[in-house]
Structure 1
Amino acid sequence: MKKLTLLLFLIIICQNSYSQKLLTSWSQQNIENYTREMYDEAQKLTTSELLLKNTKDNSWSSVFLTLNASINNYKEDTDYLKELAKQITNIEETKLKGTSRLIIWDRIISGDIIFEGKGLIIYNDLFKVGGRANQILQNLTNKNFGYVNINTTNEELENLKNKWLDFLTNKTIEEFKPTEYPNAKIPEISSLTAVEALVVSLQANATKDAITKNCLKNVYNLDEMPKEKGSSASYCNPDTYTFAYLRILFGYEEINETKDAKWWLNFWTTNQDKLVWNNDLGIYEVSE
């Protein structure tokens, strides 16, 4: 799988500024149901077959295969890129399976993805055909004219499609500039959407509990979380990462166990419209 690993590395390096980012750690080995045989078959697909596949992909592994095959084989195929651009207005949605360590903040908020504390952050909504098409175009061209997210309107999708089509006919199009967070300790988690997703992810969830138990058993051969503080096994629980991220975002240097999941949910509900970014300190503060 050396070719796969190298390709993923190149994608991340080229696109790290806007299309996708790593949070703590991720590799293609984290993708569920992703095999060499699947990879080889995807490389044989024609552009017509990939376009159809993009409309039907129903798992993170199948989405990644479409992206992978597009980059390997059709990066310079302008006709293919134009057809992808036309798919941006396709609002059909699929509940993706096998999303372990895939991070799409809106989908964590909606409950479609479980946040595991680390993984690959994608800014397009891969649950939508248009979001997948936009992701492929961004990876193929190193250009960003905006994202397709869970709330993107039909008018915005039409405008985004037209920007891609204009660009692909050699017109000069101004690129989208994502919001910056000066002095952020971890820029990848610094948007308000990410903050909300982190708070939501702290709430009780049976799937998250199962992830924790499986990690304890498979990595540490434990049936339950150790009671002693500071055990490395605590990182089997995604909440360990999440509490740390929230402390960083709000400048809380000390661990305060009273700031539990319920506290953070109440804090977010009460203050979400009053949060402002302090450019000097690189943290969120509640405005008066």
Structure 2
Amino acid sequence: MSWGQQTIEGLTEEKFNAAQKLSAEQLLSKNITDASWCEIFLTLNSSINNQSKNSEYLKALTGQITNKAITSIEGTSKLIIWERITSGEILFEGKGLVVENDLFSVAGRANQLLQNMTKKNFGYVTSSSTDDDLKIIQNKWVKFISNQPVDEYRPAEFKGSAIPEASSLKAIEALIISIQNNPKKDALTKKCLQKIYKLDEMPKEKGPALYCSPDTHSYAYLSMLLGDKKRDETKDALWWKKFWDENHGKLAWDNEKGFYIVAK
């Protein structure tokens, strides 16, 4: 799922350079108040570049792991957090950067910072993480920073998947939600058609303009994940919703086939 820094809304060279000059204390405060994907990225980038070897900064970040405060994040174009797509707080645009931590929470942002700076993973902070979950992750970071041995978290593997970053069940649920009717998605599609193809509506014949609609990507991903060699156009948004409602508890990943099957 392609992504680049140029897709981050509001990111400028001036903002980037200013963020590089922030102190550890300023970055810690900034992580608590960041309210856009641009600002989160700047905190992340500056921390990686300037604070990765600062043990006091790392220790202070562990203190934020149990902070469940939620921020409404703006400018989320091309940012993919599956649970926030399912909740409707992020519009899926067909491609982008998949982030497993919930960047809407202080805890999720702190965990992302620690993971990126240390290249270690002791579990993800999600929108459904409990106080106990956060405490467990926090304790592991404290031990690691204190040079104690800690077992790393092993994410689920989806052997044979063409799109492993979008192969979890939460990703499938989000993809199915994303293909349902949504005025914001319609507006995004129309803007793309007008800007790139000088069209006011989607042409009936198949062609590159189809990729202005995020649904083109979503249907392709769902087809791959459920074993369809190509999209079955009889499986529309309502079909997929009904399929999920009836079968999500029975879906099992087949490592040999490289897609989900419905367990009997």
CA-CA distance at 1:162 after TM superposition? 1.0
- CA deviations on 1:233-264 (whole Å, 9 max, x unpaired) are 00000000000001101111233221000100
Q: Which residue of 2 aligns with 1:244?
A: 220
Q: Output the amino acid matched with 1:189.
A: A
Corresponding residue for residue 149 of structure 1: 126
Moved more, 97-106 or 220-229: 220-229
TM-score norm. by structure 1 comes to: 0.90
Aligned to 1:207: 184
The answer as to 2:103 corresponding to 1:126 is yes
User: Tell me, what secondary structure is at the counterpart of 1:197?
Assistant: helix
Q: Distance in 1 between matches of 2:27 and 2:128?
A: 26
Distance 1:260 1:185 in 2: 22
Instruction: Tell whether 2:234 aligns with 1:258.
Output: yes
Give the secondary-structure state (helix, strand or coil) at the position aligned to 2:230. coil
Q: Tell me how far apart the structure 2 counterparts of residues 278 and 136 of structure 1 sit (CA, whole Å).
A: 33
2:45 to 68, 71, 83: 68
- CA apart distance, 1:95: 1.0
Among 251, 260, 264, which residue is 1:284 paired with?
260
% of aligned pairs identical?
54
* Aligned residue number for residue 144 of structure 2: 167
1:55 counterpart SS class: helix
Q: Look up the equivalent residue of 1:273 and give its one-letter code.
A: G
SS in 2 for 1:113: coil
Tell me which stretches of 4 or more aligned residues in structure 1 moved more than 4 Å. Answer: none
Pair 1:117 & 2:85 matched: no
Distance between the aligned counterparts of 2:150 and 2:203, measured in 1? 55
Give 1:1-288 correspondences, 5 Å limit: 23=1, 25-229=2-206, 231-288=207-264
Describe the SS at the equivalent of 2:97: strand
What TM-score does the superposition give when structure 2 sets the normalisation length? Answer: 0.99
Distance across 2 between alignment mates of 1:254 and 1:124 = 31
| AA in 2 matched with 1:227 | K
Equivalent residue of 2:63, what SS? helix
Q: Take 2:95 and 2:21, find their aligned partners in 1: how far apart are those partners?
A: 32
Unaligned 5+ runs, structure 2 = none
Tell me how far apart the structure 2 counterparts of residues 286 and 203 of structure 1 sit (CA, whole Å): 22
Distance 1:254 1:159 in 2: 43
Q: Residues of 1 paired with 2:17 and 2:158: CA distance?
A: 41
Report if aligned partners of 2:72, 2:104 keep a CA contact under 8 Å in 1: yes
Counterparts of 1:159 and 1:174 in 2: how far apart (Å)? Answer: 12
In the comparison of the two structures, how many residue pairs are matched?
A: 264
**Which runs of 5 or more structure 1 residues have no equivalent in the other structure?**
1-22
Alpha-carbon separation, structure 1, partners of 2:254 and 2:50: 45
Partner amino acid, structure 1, of 2:142: L
**Aligned-partner Cα distance in 1 for 2:42–2:162:** 33
